[in-house]
Amino acid sequence: MPPENVHERRVTIASTVGLHARPAKLFAKLAAEQPAKVTIAKEGQEPVDARSLLMLLTLDAKGGDEVVLTADGDGAEASLDALAAELQTNRDAP
């Protein structure tokens, strides 16, 4: 059970290429700007640091996959809002 100050969000990845290449880069950059510490995980797998492009790539999340974001610390809800919105944007589209 997550402690009470840890917030969680389930999001489906919109970009067709998945969380790779440019979508992963944009997501990691946005995560690094957040005051809260955010992790991202695929169902049943270890969560990884959302700021780490390398860890995001090894996560190998594809378009349509559901991922779990967790945020801990100041502004956790706002961070989740921003990062969830980023994942729900199709970055393949022009």
Partner 1 sequence: MTAEMTGIGVSPGAAYAPVARLAPVPAPPADTGPEPDPAAALATAKAALEAVAADLDERAEAATGTTADILDAQSMMPRDPALADQIEQALANGRSTPHAVIDAYGFFRAALEAAGGYLAERAADLDDLRDRTIAVLLGRPMPGLPDPGHPFVLVAKDLAPADTAALDPDTVVAIITEQGGPTSHTAILAKSMGLPAVVACPAAAALADGTEVLVDGGTGLIVPDPEPGRVRRVLDAEAKRAAALAASHGPGRTADGHAVQLLVNLGSQADLAAAAAVDSEGVGLFRTEFLFLDRETAPTVDEQVDAYGQVFAAFSGRKVVVRTLDAGADKPLAFVDHGDEPNPALGVRGIRLARTDAGSSLLDDQLTAIAAAAEKHSAEVWVMAPMVATPGEAAEFADRCRAHGLPTAGTMIEVPAAALRASRVLEGCDFASLGTNDLGQYTLAADRMNGALAELLDPWQPALLDLVSLAAEAGREAEKPVGVCGEAASDPLLACVLVGLGVTSLSMAPSAVAAVRAELATRTLADCAGMAARALHANEAAEARREVAAY
Active site residue 7: no
By beta-carbon proximity to partner 1, the closer residue of 27 and 87 is: 27
By beta-carbon proximity to partner 1, the closer residue of 48 and 68 is: 48
Cross-strand partners of 61: none
Residues within the interface to partner 1 (CB under 8 A): 16-17, 20-22, 25, 28-29, 48-49, 51-55, 57-58, 60, 92, 94
Q: Pick the catalytic residue: 6, 17, 20, 52?
A: 20
State the Cα–Cα distance between residues 73 and 90, nearest whole angstrom: 28
CB of 52 to partner 1, least distance (A): 4
The answer to whether 13 touches 64, Cβ cutoff 8 Å, is yes
Task: Kindly state the DSSP code that residue 38 receives in the 8-state scheme.
Answer: E
Query: Where does residue 16 fall: left (phi above 0), alpha (psi -120 to 50 degrees), or beta otherwise?
Result: alpha
Show which residues are catalytic. 20
